[in-house]
Copies of this chain bind each other. A is one copy, B any other.
Amino acid sequence: MKSAIPPRSERTRQLIIESAAPIFNKKGYAGTSMSDLTTATGLTKGSIYGNFKDKDDVAVHAFQHNIDLIFDFFSKELKAAGSTWDKLLAYPRGFRKIYRMILSYGGCPILNTAVEADDTHAVLRKMAVDVLAKWKNSIISLITDGIDEGVIDPATDAAKSAEILIALMEGGSVLSKVTGEESYMLNAIDMAEEKITDMQRPT
């Protein structure tokens, strides 16, 4: 039984992506140069261009990698949560677990990309928009499930609540990032949890 050693090229691609991901996240697309990537990877420009079409291509894969990191984390959190209720709370609670890591990583990649790309880079912007939609839909589904299960007040506006929760968490994260004060993030998380608690079906 042959163990699955990925081919050399795949390892190089992965090295480039993983090295580039935090750099793009911190310095932005325009602020990151290909030389930054050769320095970080120890590879030559030719090698990077042998594995990716152009800078855009690296940025797209690096951003996707960052998205995957976040989604993998929350997927596990949701899976670990038992009830619909706990799954909904898994979002703010998950942020409480990893916000420090996110901050040291340069802030939330979705928000960083959203801010830089909205007026300058259509492809990255679309990726950010898509992942936000996915996130929002996930919250909406959970709220709907909760209503169906009778644990959430049927009067709850699922879409509105989802947008507010996302705004709180993204807003809190960027403010903590720039000010260096964790309280922004923590208070936003508290508010999000409170908001979820308020959705509870009145007895």
* A interface with B by C-beta (< 8 Å): 26-31, 106-107, 111-112, 114-120, 125, 128-129, 132-133, 159-160, 163-164, 166-172, 174-175, 177-180, 183-184, 187-188, 190-191, 195
Contacts and interface: CB of A to CB of B under 8 A. Distances in A.
A120 to B, nearest CB: 6
A163 B177 contact: no
Given A107-B115, A114-B174, A174-B114, A167 B179 contact: no
Contact of A125 (B164, B178, B195): B178
19 contacts: A30-B30, A30-B31, A31-B120, A114-B175, A114-B178, A115-B116, A118-B178, A129-B179, A160-B183, A160-B187, A163-B175, A166-B175, A166-B184, A167-B168, A167-B171, A167-B172, A168-B168, A170-B171, A171-B172
Given A28-B30, A164-B188, 5 more contacts: A31-B31, A114-B174, A115-B116, A163-B187, A163-B188
- For chain A, what secondary structure do more than half of its interface residues adopt (helix, strand, loop), or is it mixed? helix
A110 to B, nearest CB: 9
A25 to B, nearest CB: 9
A181 to B, nearest CB: 8
A160 B115 CA distance: 25
Which of A27, A115, A117, A133 has the most chain B CB atoms closer than 10 A to its own CB?
A115
A118 B164 CA distance: 25
Contacts of A30: 27-28, 30-31
Contacts of A167: 167-168, 171-172, 175, 184, 187-188, 191
A128 B174 CA distance: 12
B132 A175 contact: yes
Contact of A31 (B116, B159, B171): B116
A119 B175 contact: no
A176 B85 CA distance: 27
A174 to B, nearest CB: 6
Contacts of A178: 114-115, 117-118, 125, 128-129, 132
